[in-house]
Amino acid sequence: MTNSDPKILTWCDQPAAGYGSDLMPPQLRVLVADDHRLFAESLMTVLAVDERIDVVGVARDGAEAAKLAEELRPDIVLMDINMPGTDGLEATRRIRSADSDTAVIVLTGETDTSNGSAAIEAGAHAFVRKDQSLERFMAVFFEVGAIVSLFAQQSPN
């Protein structure tokens, strides 16, 4: 799959345009969903350094992620694909069907990207392997953030 595939906003092997945009809101509200505590806490620490990001919660499984997404209404959910109980794909479906304004970036520790299509079909805005560089991950993150902001500016409130 490539960026030319119309179902895929951003693909893990394609660099995004940059780190942020004039379209960005003052802060992106982010929910982290990953059952590996060390990874989740490390990701939250990295994100908290950037003043444009507000980490509003952490979930340890897909059911908790869907529940917290409904309660906290984050701009972006960073969703591990493989979690106990409700997996990241089902949680993504639930989140996107309940709130189309919340974007989901699905993360995987697997090097096989075959789950990328399933993630996009579930409603994810991007699919990123965990072996990507921090620079590439942040570029994808802010690209999705800019798109979320653009749609928020266009929707009537």
Per-residue pLDDT at 100: 79
Sign of CA dihedral 38, 42, 48, 53: negative
Q: Which two tokens stand for residue 38?
A: 């060390």
Q: Is residue 57 part of a domain?
A: yes
Which of the four pLDDT bands, split at 50, 70 and 90, describes residue 41? very high
Q: Band of the pLDDT at 151, cuts 50, 70, 90? A: low
Structural domain includes residue 86? yes
How many structural domains comprise the chain?
1
In a domain, 17, yes or no: no
Please report which confidence band the pLDDT of residue 9 belongs to, taking 50, 70 and 90 as the band edges. Answer: very low
Mean of the per-residue pLDDT values of the chain = 83
Contact between 125 and 147 (Cβ < 8 Å): yes
SS3 55: strand
Say how many C-beta atoms besides its own lie within 10 A of residue 74's C-beta.
Answer: 26
In the predicted structure, residue 17 carries a pLDDT above the cut 50: no
**Residue bearing the bigger pLDDT, 64 or 109:** 64
Q: Is residue 6 part of a domain?
A: no
* Residue 122 forms part of a structural domain: yes
Residues 71-112: tens digit of each pLDDT = 999 999 999 999 999 999 999 999 999 977 899 999 998 877
Report the distance separating Cα 56 and Cα 54, nearest Å: 6
- pLDDT band, very low/low/confident/very high, at 11 (cuts 50, 70, 90): very low
First vs last Cα of the chain: how many Å apart? 36
50-54 mean pLDDT: 93
Task: Please give the model's pTM, rounded to 2 decimal places.
Answer: 0.82
The pLDDT value given to residue 93:
96
Say which CATH number the domain at 142 has.
Answer: 3.40.50.2300
13, part of any domain? no
pLDDT band at 19 (very low <50, low <70, confident <90, very high): very low
Query: What are the φ/ψ torsions at residue 83 (nearest 5 degrees)?
Result: -135, 155
How far apart (Å, rounded) are the C-alpha atoms in residues 101 and 97? 10
Dihedrals φ, ψ of 141, to 5°? Answer: -55, -50
Contact 51, 30 (CB under 8 A): no
CB of 58 closer than 8 Å to CB of 106: no
31 membership: H or E segment, kind and range = strand 28-33
Reported confidence tier of residue 23, pLDDT bands at 50, 70, 90: low
- Indicate whether 102 belongs to any domain: yes
